[in-house]
Amino acid sequence: QQQVKQSPQSLIVQKGGISIINCAYENTAFDYFPWYQQFPGKGPALLIAIRPDVSEKKEGRFTISFNKSAKQFSLHIMDSQPGDSATYFCAASNPGAGSYQLTFGKGTKLSVIP
Amino acid sequence: DAGVTQSPTHLIKTRGQQVTLRCSPISGHKSVSWYQQVLGQGPQFIFQYYEKEERGRGNFPDRFSARQFPNYSSELNVNALLLGDSALYLCASNWAQGSYEQYFGPGTRLTVT
């Protein structure tokens, strides 16, 4: 049972455009939602994360939007650059209950073309 | 400061063999988790250790085992390797049970032939 569904599977965006990746979760006990960026041959790098008590969090060009009632959250990358080309994973966990197990989506391969 | 380190970088094993992967967490981090990432998929949780005790276990067979040492480094052991065990094995560390952010190492690429 996939508890975190991520879409789209792949995304092509023009340089300077906005990249949007969506995730939906099923387990209402989740209370921590990070996004990771992974380049080929590398481990995932923590990009930005949000807790359910806020609806939006922004760090530089990256913004997470969170909709608790819909059990959905999304990553927006503003002014996308070719260097942003990577695979992005959403994840969820319930550390408040002592569980640090991250449940990941299947990933979105982002290509930013000049 | 050094991030999470893992060794070896790459490993090729034959079906039925055993393998040991190693991880050193970020300095000061006391918790280590292991994940398996099959090509084209998101990482899947295998184990979490905190203060040398197992605190979480994913849906993996008993062929997978791990331990954490007094210096907080960790080993993942896989026995009786199957072709399907070929994957990138990732280690992540976080400071303590009360901290949320997990930081991943570069992984060990295991190929089973």
- Chain B nearest-CA distance from A87, in A, is 10
**Region B62-89 average pLDDT:** 97
- For residue B106, the chain A residues in CB contact (below 8 A) are 41-43
Residue A80 has pLDDT above 60, yes or no: yes
- For residue A107, the chain B residues in CB contact (below 8 A) are 40-42
**Region A87-111 average pLDDT:** 90
For residue B83, the SS3 value is: helix
For residue A31, the SS3 value is: coil
Q: What are the pLDDT digits (tens) for B41-56? A: 999 999 999 888 998 8
Q: What are the pLDDT digits (tens) for A20-36? A: 999 999 999 899 999 99
Contact in structure between A52 and A59 (CB atoms under 8 Å): no
pLDDT band at residue B80 under the 50/70/90 scheme? very high
Which pLDDT does position B2 carry in this prediction?
A: 82
